[in-house]
Structure 1
């Protein structure tokens, strides 16, 4: 069963030690991806603690989320239908 997080919880994870993003209503802990991200860690940190759906879709093909998303997905955003 997937864990549900509020946006307030997501907003608390904006550092090198704990970086979370929301993409399409799902919550991802990208902390371990920071050093591996081809675009660098700064862009992930800049968007951590936020809904990064628009940014993600502007720079990545759909298969990226399918390929690596399951590794980093930790749950869903509560009331994501309101986004």
Structure 2
């Protein structure tokens, strides 16, 4: 069972030294991947601590998550409140 992180917890991971992003409700710790990102680390850091789903899918195909997702996945994020 995956750990469920709150949005508040995800938001704390928003620096180059501690960088999480959410894609499709899954939380990824991409800190170790930053130096490898073909578009540079800055573009990823701007999405850190947030839901990057729309931006991610506009720039990447599904094969990226298939390749890198399993080793970077640290849990899921709680559903956003509809209030």
Shorter-chain TM-score: what band? over 0.9
The offset of 1:80, in angstroms, is: 5.5
What CA distance in whole angstroms lies between the structure 2 residues aligned with 1:33 and 1:81? 30
Aligned residue pairs, count = 82
Q: Which runs of 5+ in 1 are unaligned?
A: none
Q: After the TM superposition, which residues 19-38 of structure 1 pair with which residues of structure 2 at under 5 Å, given as runs?
A: 19-38=19-38
What CA distance in whole angstroms lies between the structure 2 residues aligned with 1:47 and 1:36? 16
CA RMSD of aligned residues (A): 1.3
Q: Which runs of 5+ in 2 are unaligned?
A: none
| Equivalent in the alignment of 2:14 | 14
TM-score by length of 2: 0.93
What CA distance in whole angstroms lies between the structure 1 residues aligned with 2:43 and 2:29? 14
TM-score by length of 1: 0.93
| Equivalent in the alignment of 2:42 | 42
The offset of 1:42, in angstroms, is: 0.1
